[in-house]
Structure 1
Amino acid sequence: MAHKYTNISDLSVLIVGLGSIGSRHYSNLRALGLTKLGILRTSNTKPHTPLDLANIPVYDDYAKALANNYDAVLICNPTSMHLKYALTAARNRCNVFIEKPLSNNMNQVYDIEQLVDKFNLKVGLGYQMKFHPNLLDIKTWISEKRIGKLVNVTVNAGEYLPLWHPWENHETSYAARKELGGGVALTQIHDIDYLTWIFGDLELLYAYGGNSGILGTDVEDYVTATLKTDTNTTVHLHLDYLQNPPARTMKIVGQYGTIDWDYYQNIANLTISGKIEQISNVEASWERNTMFLDEIKDFLYAIINDNEPTSNIPNTLSGLKTTLAIMEYINSN
């Protein structure tokens, strides 16, 4: 059933958490013309970016905030709190957008799925990489079998944690705290998610990783895993909090050629028999924030048009299970 509104600017949205990602979503919602916004603060930390909150209700009580019947709730607090707040919103019949990942365990996933079905809610997940122009082209090349039978995929993604949010102590950030769902596997789950999106479900064969002792944290800051797809393509994955300068690359080897992607160079090459056949470029005017704008528009239009967001619980759950399997493998060995 279509929503009562026809324009996304008519929707009312409550943002839970005003850290880095919550602040970004707030600014993007304002840029998209939404004015019926509310903020639930879950800490006393000031936003690192000055925000115009004039005439915006700011709550410190979740129940009082939800009593205002928002059309959607954006969950932007630490990972370990995601499902607690999402379940409360769903019980109040609010559509929910949850920052990645859905959770740091599977304990209450069934509960949120039941509420979504019961109340016909829309749930979106914050996997903005699915809106990266290069990855969209790569997904098309793979679906068209441009390089034939796939042989091997290698992904390397690393970024130096202390430089993520220079305004905060990295040792106390959620990404570095086990009790908040931190650690590189869950925090950098984007790469596992887009691999699943492009190649299908992944089966874990082997994983190695842990805490290097370099960053002064108690979470895993490097992970290397070997996985395989349903068609027996081998996938080698490396994630870390340590690389400076940062890197995010993917190489796909097939029977006819290769696909090479560099996230920081915003380019992907399709090479057949040693010759570059097609190049995926990103427009010079393109900004990283465009992915975040596209994902939130996708979620809001799903509410308006009664369709599914690009990233929802069913199509991201496999990636979460794979990530948790990697963590369990490392912890048990």
Structure 2
Amino acid sequence: MMNIKNLNFAVVGSGSIGLRHTKNLKHLGATKISVFDPDKKRKPFIEELGFNFVTNFEDLRDQNIDIALICTPPNLHLYYLDKLISFNAHVFIEKPLSHSYEQAKKLYKRIKNYPKFITIGFNWRFHESMVKVKELLNNGYIGKPLIGIFESGQYLANWRPTTDYRKGYFAKKETGGGIISDGCHEIDIATWLLGSPSSIISIKSKVSDLEIETEDTAIILLETESNKLIEIHLNAVEKDYARNSKIIGEKGTITWDFLTGVKISSDEMNETYKLTPDTNDMYVDELHNFINNVIKSKRPSISYERGLEIQKLIYSAHKSAEKGKKIFI
């Protein structure tokens, strides 16, 4: 029977998220991991974990890769996905799917019948407190949801203290940077909880003195196909980390905060759930989930198609902000 120790893994990109995933694969029991990065400076970090490090991507071709993880800047995601498809591997792609909706749509036409699984790293779906929010909604404790408000804020220069934010992908348009693309977790979570949007209005701006060429702030308004309203606030300027949401229903309200947990106040119940697990747990859980999908031949719930939907919303948010008008999805 297939198990994780028998699987060959490839991690493409060994920056902060690539290193995190490599460590988590080891934690889950993976023993056969090869990491590719053209930057030789990353080699000691990988070899310290006891795994193979290569600077030539084609060296992975002989490894009989079962599952590959793409952990590069967004503008390289589809480039490496195209190559990994020729390996006949299952592929995990860090969010967002790409820096380009048009390129993602074009590639989909070629790979929609690809027999192996492709998933996107929307890890917040696996956070214990967000799972609780989904459960409370599904159980109808606040009745019909009407309004959702989602917020994420963190000062860009503090995201990765050991790296220069000015050299990271966020700072540049060509690499798929900016808060709308980087903040697509909120877009995914909001529409996962409340449904697909029919229209979008957004504004974006660079309001800080951060040395970047992309937007650091955005406000996105969505109207769903079932007439729910969603408000998303994203910024890379807030000194105190903030990540929270509120869902208002006919019978009550669910509030969520990454730092404190979940609270529900409704006609049926008033409860507080102090769910504040280690941040890394959701990254472990998303990998564990995908690996189980592969082992059990079960299609992942977060597919390439879902990644393409979110990519379209990212594109539409930019388009709305640039044209100053509502965009119908």
The TM-score, its normalising length taken from structure 2, stands at: 0.92
Distance, in Å, in 1 between the alignment partners of 2:271 and 2:38 is 47
1:55 CA drift (Å): 5.2
Deviations 1:79-112 (A, max 9, x none): 0100010111012211111000111112333455
1:195 equivalent in alignment to 2:190: yes
Deviations 1:121-159 (A, max 9, x none): 111211110011111111122222221222211111111
| 1:263 equivalent in structure 2 | 258
1:45 CA drift (Å): 4.4
Match for 2:224 among 229, 237, 251? 229
Match for 2:16 among 8, 14, 20? 20
Amino acid at match of 1:12: N
Q: Structure 1 residues 192, 54: CA separation in 2 closer, same or farther (over 3 Å shift)?
A: closer
Distance, in Å, in 1 between the alignment partners of 2:194 and 2:223 is 10
Instruction: Verify the 8 A CA contact 2:256 2:262 in the aligned structure 1.
Output: yes
Amino acid at match of 1:19: G
Alignment of 1:57-96 (within 5 A): 57-96=52-91
Instruction: Verify the 8 A CA contact 2:8 2:63 in the aligned structure 1.
Output: no
Distance, in Å, in 2 between the alignment partners of 1:239 and 1:268 is 20
| 2:32 equivalent in structure 1 | 36
1:288 equivalent in alignment to 2:279: yes
Alignment of 1:1-333 (within 5 A): 5-46=1-42, 50-53=45-48, 56-110=51-105, 112-113=107-108, 116-265=111-260, 267-273=261-267, 277-282=270-275, 286-333=277-324
**Larger displacement relative to structure 2 (207-216 or 94-103):** 207-216
1:317 CA drift (Å): 2.7
Instruction: Verify the 8 A CA contact 2:141 2:269 in the aligned structure 1.
Output: no
* Pairwise CA RMSD: 2.0
Distance, in Å, in 2 between the alignment partners of 1:303 and 1:218 is 40
Count of residues paired in the alignment: 324
Q: Give every structure 1 segment of 4 or more consecutive aligned residues whose post-TM-superposition deviation is greater than 6 Å.
A: none
1:9 CA drift (Å): 2.1
Distance, in Å, in 2 between the alignment partners of 1:116 and 1:95 is 12
1:20 CA drift (Å): 0.2
Amino acid at match of 1:297: H
**Larger displacement relative to structure 2 (34-43 or 60-69):** 60-69
Amino acid at match of 2:271: Q
1:21 CA drift (Å): 0.2
1:212 CA drift (Å): 1.6
| Percent identity between the two aligned chains | 27
What runs of 5+ residues in structure 1 fail to find an aligned partner? Answer: none
Instruction: Verify the 8 A CA contact 1:253 1:259 in the aligned structure 2.
Output: yes
Instruction: Verify the 8 A CA contact 1:203 1:322 in the aligned structure 2.
Output: no
Distance, in Å, in 1 between the alignment partners of 2:269 and 2:153 is 27
Distance, in Å, in 1 between the alignment partners of 2:74 and 2:36 is 16
Instruction: Verify the 8 A CA contact 1:204 1:322 in the aligned structure 2.
Output: no
| Secondary structure, aligned partner of 1:81 | helix
Instruction: Verify the 8 A CA contact 2:71 2:93 in the aligned structure 1.
Output: yes
Distance, in Å, in 2 between the alignment partners of 1:117 and 1:10 is 28
Deviations 1:209-253 (A, max 9, x none): 121242111001000011111211111111010111011111111
What runs of 5+ residues in structure 2 fail to find an aligned partner? Answer: 325-329
**Larger displacement relative to structure 2 (174-183 or 50-59):** 50-59
Distance, in Å, in 2 between the alignment partners of 1:30 and 1:105 is 32
Deviations 1:25-64 (A, max 9, x none): 01011111111110111334448x9444465322222122
Instruction: Verify the 8 A CA contact 1:16 1:42 in the aligned structure 2.
Output: no
Instruction: Verify the 8 A CA contact 1:298 1:310 in the aligned structure 2.
Output: no
Amino acid at match of 2:310: G
| Secondary structure, aligned partner of 2:218 | strand
Distance, in Å, in 2 between the alignment partners of 1:53 and 1:102 is 30
Distance, in Å, in 2 between the alignment partners of 1:298 and 1:54 is 23
Distance, in Å, in 2 between the alignment partners of 1:116 and 1:302 is 19
The TM-score, its normalising length taken from structure 1, stands at: 0.91
